[in-house]
Amino acid sequence: MKLYSTLSRTLEDFQPIEEGKVKLFVCGPTVYDNTHIGHVKTYVQFDLLARYLRYIGYEVFYLQNITNIDE
């Protein structure tokens, strides 16, 4: 599997740090107004990635936060 690296601006082969395991720590939406399609995009794209990684045999730990700007 290849993923786009924003650091190198190229497609790179996916190499997990730990064999057979993937940890996803995702910054979720900062909710300060009404929900919109951009909030949904974050949930859907990373949920699909986690599901695909599980499907191809990886053990996946997936954590996504929601930022509360009032605190």
Give the range of the structural domain holding residue 31, as residue numbers without chain letter. 16-64
Nearest to 24 by CA among 69, 71, 64: 64
- The fraction of the chain above a pLDDT of 90, given in percent, is 59
DSSP 8: T
pTM: 0.78
The answer to whether residue 3 is domain-embedded is no
Mean pLDDT, all residues of the chain? 88
Count: domains in the chain:
1
Question: Does residue 8 form part of some domain?
Answer: no
Considering the domain boundaries, does residue 37 fall inside one? yes
Please identify which residue in the block is written with the tokens 């924003």: 6
Within a domain: residue 57? yes
Q: Which residue has the higher pLDDT, 41 or 10?
A: 10
Would 2 be classed as within a structural domain?
no
Q: What's the pLDDT tens digit per position in 14-34?
A: 999 999 999 999 887 777 777
Per the CB < 8 A criterion, the answer to whether 3 and 11 are in contact is yes
